[in-house]
Structure 1
Amino acid sequence: MAGQKSSVQVRHTDAEAFAASLLEAAGVSKKNANIIGRALVQADLRGVESHGINRLPSYLARIRNGVLNPKAEPTVNEVTPVVAQVDGNNGFGFPAAHLAMETAVKMAQIFGIGMVSVKHSNHFGMSAWLVRQAVDAGMMSLVFTNSSPALPVWGGKSQLMGVSPIAAGSPGGEDSIPFILDMAPSVAARGKIHKALRRGEKIPEGWALDEEGKPTDDPEKALGGVMLPMGGPKGSALAIMMDVFSGVLSGSAFAGGVTGPYDMSKPGDVGHFIVALKPDLFMSLDEFRQRMDVLYRRVVGSEKMEGVERIYFPGEIEQLTEEKRRKEGIPFVQAEIDVLNAEAERLGVAKIQHAP
């Protein structure tokens, strides 16, 4: 693929430190910069490069254009003992979502369930890092968000719904990995289109249509057109569901009103919806874990169709990728490194370092 010959490896620890230093130089608090840096690098480690540190230039551009407040701190308001709302105050979506999950987990630890709505937020990257936050606390979770228009409703031809991911997770058993689902209601995440454009690559036909409604493999034309929903009306309905729970319910933008991370015209006003749930509400934790082990074994041990070498549990491929990249480093195309280092030079911080 184009650009792959000039790829370089970066240690995940160096990537985190670099991201945090850029953000701090742009006015983000040390605590929030570390939250954002860890979440972005988790995406790179898991092979979700469309939501990794290459997002930083667009975030920094939003700060420079005055449509994202780097100094904003999210605030939380308890509605009931098991329901709260976080106001992102037009700061980064990462700290707002982190606080929301932290609040939901604390509620669930006492009452079995915690539900938090987030308003006036921004893009929070890959949803799986929030699911992982819950799993690390021993909790099951649901993570919803809405996003900027990119997808037509089924039967329509213009952008209206966001390519808004639906995510869920659960701790695994003694002999199985956690269940981590993070998927967009489109055939492919829109971030993958931006990644292809950045790397000078084509996209598979069937991902998007150009502005004339024709199939395209050109990422630039795809960004000017529409993404295609997975499963036709099913993907469209899931995108609408994300808008109901994340936008309508929270009091944030909805129905095409969310501003995307590459749009410098106005605040994002993104909404999120987060639930944490104790896994031992209906049985002992030991029994729950045993049942997860059974599920895992049955899934990965299923009879394989012709041509399939291995069956994976949701989140397993990403976990294996993370294990590999923690040892070997995260691969970046040199052009991506150059863009990141241009931001470092602009902000007067040390440039990102390649692994030897």
Structure 2
Amino acid sequence: MNKTNKLISYQKLTDIATVLFENGGLRSDDAAIIARDLVAANLRGLDSHGVSRIPMYLERIRRKVVNPQPNIKIQRITSAVSLVDGDDGMGFLAGHQAMDEAIELAKQSGIGLVGVRNSTHYGMAALYVKQAIEAGYISMAYTNSSPAIPVWGGRTPFLGASPFAAGVPGGEKSPYLLDMAMTVIARGKIRLAATHGEPIPSGLALDSDGVPTTDAKKAFEGVCLPFGGAKGAALAMLMDLLAGVLTGANYGGDVKSLYFDHSEPQNVGHLFIAIRPDLFVTKEEFNDRMDSFVDRAKDLPKAQGFDEILIPGEPEERTAIKRLEDGIPLTNEVIQSLVEEGVRSSVDVSNFF
């Protein structure tokens, strides 16, 4: 069932988001950054991580479990390692500063490693590796998150969906941009289905009693299943070890729920790695080799049902190009939630729609 109500331009949707965050107590520059990041997710077709999350983020600010104006601090540990304290602010802000720091370290040392603690949910993980790609760097981004999936053999939430992202810049061809959760499906997509009253396919989640379900609301209150069974659960565990245990952030089930727990800040952990692409070959040779790799991959014989071979990140980039031209689709429910959020902060955004 198509629940799309309207197509909204990129600029108009960014303006709406910026106004709502400014009225929610964020500094103007910070509000603009987060607004662009959320709309970037909508542009790439990841609507579960886009502007539909604005009411939830602002509610956490009102509940005082997110600091609207954080004093983010960066501590250099070695010539190639830094630690960022997010001061319980929006994770987008700590994430971008951390990747900037990783890139700066990599300029000097060839590789930069930056840990982050006292952060919160940082949105679409692709944001940070795209940031590195645009600067010409190879990168990886790790994060932990609130419990969403069980350890292999368990039935209660313990590990986060914890998306992993990686990026490799290209020359003339498309860069490699991977962004994937450790679950069969991103938990945010289940939340969106629950909001719309839509079912989800079987095999994605268990309800709170550990029973397989296609009811999105029960699934969101239960546990998501890891992709690849034990392999996905093991990778989710690695994400918690690197982003949580290593950085000094919360870990092992202690990250507070983004949706249901307003008792205290989340203390999410992230880990960013930036690598200079000219460490072993020249930049020109690296670019040529990347272009050759992409050409070789795309020229391979195609499996039945496939007209084209795409590099990770290419489908989302094509969606972004189309939505920039045509507009970003928003459902009635999302539009209504943004209008209601404006009313809460005494700003009328209905005229934008």
- Range of TM-score over shorter length: over 0.9
1:120 to 2:134 alignment? no
Task: State the distance in 1 between where 2:351 and 2:263 align.
Answer: 33
1:206 to 2:203 alignment? yes
Give the TM-score normalised by the residue count of structure 2.
0.97
Task: State the distance in 1 between where 2:161 and 2:38 align.
Answer: 19
1:179 to 2:170 alignment? no
Task: State the distance in 1 between where 2:197 and 2:11 align.
Answer: 27
2:277 corresponds to which residue? 279
1:186 alignment partner, SS class: coil
Shift of 1:301: 2.1
Contact 1:9 1:329 in 2 (8 A): yes
Contact 2:129 2:140 in 1 (8 A): yes
Letter in 2 for 1:205: S
1:146 corresponds to which residue? 144
Structure 1 residue runs of 5 or longer lacking an equivalent are: none
2:192 corresponds to which residue? 195
Q: Where do 1:60-71 residues align within 5 Å?
A: 60-71=58-69
2:243 corresponds to which residue? 246
1:219 corresponds to which residue? 216
2:11 corresponds to which residue? 13
2:129 corresponds to which residue? 131
Contact 1:46 1:318 in 2 (8 A): yes
Contact 1:74 1:96 in 2 (8 A): yes
Paired-residue identity, %: 45
Contact 1:141 1:169 in 2 (8 A): yes
Q: Where do 1:1-356 residues align within 5 Å?
A: 1=1, 3-4=3-4, 7-174=5-172, 176-263=173-260, 264-351=262-349
Letter in 1 for 2:153: G
Question: Can you list the C-alpha shifts for 1:45-75, whole angstroms capped at 9, x where unaligned?
Answer: 0000110011111011111111111111311
Task: State the distance in 2 between where 1:181 and 1:280 align.
Answer: 21
Question: Can you list the C-alpha shifts for 1:137-169, whole angstroms capped at 9, x where unaligned?
Answer: 111101000000010011111100000011100
Shift of 1:2: 5.3
Task: State the distance in 2 between where 1:300 and 1:354 align.
Answer: 42
Contact 1:67 1:265 in 2 (8 A): yes
2:263 alignment partner, SS class: coil
Task: State the distance in 1 between where 2:29 and 2:347 align.
Answer: 18
CA RMSD of superposed structures (Å): 1.2
Task: State the distance in 1 between where 2:299 and 2:256 align.
Answer: 44
Task: State the distance in 2 between where 1:16 and 1:139 align.
Answer: 27
Give the TM-score normalised by the residue count of structure 1.
0.96
1:58 alignment partner, SS class: helix
Equivalent residue pairs, number: 352
- Runs of 4+ in structure 1 deviating by more than 6 angstroms, as ranges, are none
Contact 1:119 1:251 in 2 (8 A): yes
2:128 alignment partner, SS class: helix
Shift of 1:353: 5.5
Question: Can you list the C-alpha shifts for 1:297-351, whole angstroms capped at 9, x where unaligned?
Answer: 1222221111222221100000000000010111010111010111012112241
Shift of 1:354: 5.6
Task: State the distance in 2 between where 1:206 and 1:308 align.
Answer: 25
Question: Can you list the C-alpha shifts for 1:212-231, whole angstroms capped at 9, x where unaligned?
Answer: 22221111110121100111
Shift of 1:265: 2.5
1:117 alignment partner, SS class: strand
Contact 2:103 2:132 in 1 (8 A): yes
Shift of 1:190: 0.4
